[in-house]
Structure 1
Amino acid sequence: MTATLMDGQTLSRKLLDETAERAAAFERTQGRRPCLATVLVGDDPASHTYVRMKVNRCAAVGIESRRVDLPASVGTEELVGVLRELSADPAVDGILLQHPVPAHIDERAAFDAIPADKDVDGVTGASFAAMAFGERGFVSATPAGIMRLLDAYDVPLRGRRAVVVGRSAILGKPVGMLLLARDATVTYCHSRTVDLASHVAEADVVVAAAGVPELVRGEWIKPGAVVVDAGYNPGNVGDVEFAGAADRASLITPVPGGVGPMTIAALLSQTVDAAELHG
């Protein structure tokens, strides 16, 4: 069996086109563009690349981008103050704090300084609670993109066994909650899981989000399973051993070109959602 690639590039372009149409309609009716403020702390090259990519995508779809760069030396209190200023600005619809922040900063305190109605990246405790309880709110951007991919390829979830490898607050945990809400039977696995291979082998859907290159081996994949690789490691390597997994899976995301483009598209779509909420 050779798996079909889940093309995040093409699907994200469709979502970005829809977002651009909505942004233009918002500007016509409200006399302003939707606005996303991005806060970047420090000089991490990968973070700068991600932020630059998001700024460029904003421009392409008609979203105003406000970028705030802070030195690595900034403390939690000062960062929280910046986020609260942006929160109080009625011209700002969405706020993105680029992850990760330097180790001396209390990242959770910083995230939770963002109000739920501007948390378009879905990183606050309030957003997670709303998502877990099926209430209105913004979903973490990468999990939102993953669910759009699964839906675009008509992946059945009700009653299916889903294994999430990884338990981060902005990826592993929320994507498991979203799968659970769709009536999948969800197992979380992580660095302390005993016999990871046996859990993966039972999965109809595997979401790899551990940040460990090729942690999930191809021979572990159940024949016909759907494999979503949300990892990205140096050398364009995901968290799944791609060649071996592609020989057994029915659908698989490439790295790059799978989950990554969907993350940015979901973020910008939710920014327009926030603008429409604010009016």
Structure 2
Amino acid sequence: MTLIDGKKVADDIKREIAAEVDNMVAAGMRRPHLAAILVGHDGGSETYVANKVKACEMCGFKSTLIRYEEDVTEQELLDTIARFNADPDVDGFIVQLPLPRHISEQRIIEAIDYRKDVDGFHPVNVGRMSIGLPCFVSATPAGIIELLRRYNVPTRGANCVVLGRSNIVGKPVASLMMQKADPGNATVTVLHSASRDIKEKCAEADIIIAALGSPGFVTEDMVKPGATIIDVGTTRVPDASRKSGFRLSGDVDFDNVAPKCAFITPVPGGVGPMTICSLMKNTLLAAKKEIYS
């Protein structure tokens, strides 16, 4: 069994990006600039944005963070988005999700200039990804593909089961695994809450990508020997033995599943670190105008 170390891969990639940024600056180009809009004080969002700022520092990027309280109006957010869209110094920006209920997430996503949409959520980027055109790929699916690439996990012709159909992970990673690419060229089955015979279908899979947000859902009897398991789940579960009072749990029963696997990602330290790393890569591509001129 090989443990896929997402933290190490992410650190390697951030160092590669930093070296490229140093070369850009030495050539007289400006540093890439990533901005973020954070609404409210959601614990997970606060942690993600704080890690984004740290990653920007490691990569040599300029970063900007705009904070709003939860009572911010939708129009105020739209005005800030319009300002970032028009600012030539901002290469890419994100609006951290989730947003308060009185704000339409889809309206906010569509207001972002797709050429600065480094989260890869805008319909233009989603559509281009689905047909294999250059685009900003959403960060978590891009991170998963990069882990498969760097660990040389065979995907061509493999039976791949994706558990979950969210717009952020399930649907895009299924699309990427089907592309004529390496990694890719897999035979993909997407399973969700309305699917039948989930256990049996998982047991036939060469690769399982679990993105349900259901702790310990994938059990030993759902995994065939030699399978590759990519666990995207990061659910906070109570744990009185921890100072924080909780621990992060993946969608996979790691202790019992891992011995059967050829490759498996841990939680934490697997897919999670790759998400921010992919955001940095998209920002670099935006700064270099490699996707959209």
TM-score, normalised via structure 1 length: 0.96
Residue 283 (structure 2) aligns with? 271
Counterpart of 2:249 (choices 219, 237, 259) is: 237
CA contact (8 A) 1:217 1:245 kept: yes
Deviation at 1:94, TM superposition (A): 0.8
The residue aligned with 2:155 is 157
1:11 partner letter: V
Structure 1 residue 262 corresponds to structure 2 residue 274: yes
Question: Residue 173 of structure 1 corresponds to which residue in structure 2?
Answer: 171
For 2:196 and 2:79, how far apart are their aligned partners in 1?
A: 43
Give the aligned residue type for 2:272: G
Hey, what's the Cα distance between the residues in 2 that align with 1:143 and 1:30?
33
User: Contact conserved, 1:80 with 1:110, CA < 8 A, in 2?
Assistant: yes
Q: From 30, 34, 37, give the equivalent of 1:36.
A: 34
1:190 alignment partner in structure 2: 192
Where does residue 93 of structure 2 map in the other structure?
Answer: 95
For residues 188-214 of structure 1, the C-alpha deviation after alignment (integer angstroms, 9 at most, x for no partner) is 111221221112111111000111111
Give the AA of the match of 1:207.
I
> Counterparts of 1:165 and 1:38 in 2: how far apart (Å)?
29
Deviations 1:37-86 (A, max 9, x none): 11111111221111011101101211000101111112333322211211
Residue type matched to 2:71 in 1?
S
In the alignment, is the contact (CA less than 8 A) between 2:117 and 2:136 conserved in 1?
yes
Q: Retained in 2: the 8 A contact 1:26–1:276?
A: no
CA distance in 2, matches of 1:245, 1:105: 40
- SS of match in other structure, 2:15: helix
Structure 1 residue 180: deviation in Å? 0.5
1:119 — aligned with what? Answer: 117
Q: Which amino acid aligns with 1:205?
A: I
TM-aligned CA deviation for residue 31 of structure 1? 4.1
In the TM superposition, structure 1's runs of 4+ consecutive aligned residues that sit over 4 Å from their partners are: none
- What is the identity, as a one-letter code, of the residue corresponding to 2:235? N
Match of 1:236, SS state, is strand
Aligned length: 277
> So what's the TM-score if we normalise by structure 2?
0.91
The residue identity in structure 2 corresponding to 1:123 is: F
Partner residue, 1:216? 218
Partners of 2:15 and 2:58 within 8 A in 1: no
CA separation in 1, counterparts of 2:102 and 2:203?
Answer: 39
User: In the aligned structure 1, how far is the partner of 2:26 from the partner of 2:110?
Assistant: 32
> CA contact under 8 A between 1:26 and 1:34: conserved in structure 2?
no
Equivalent position SS for 2:157:
coil
The answer to whether structure 1 residue 55 and structure 2 residue 53 are counterparts is yes
Uncovered stretches (5+) of structure 2, i.e. residues with no partner: 237-246
CA contact (8 A) 1:27 1:34 kept: no
Deviation of 1:19 after TM superposition, in Å, equals: 0.6
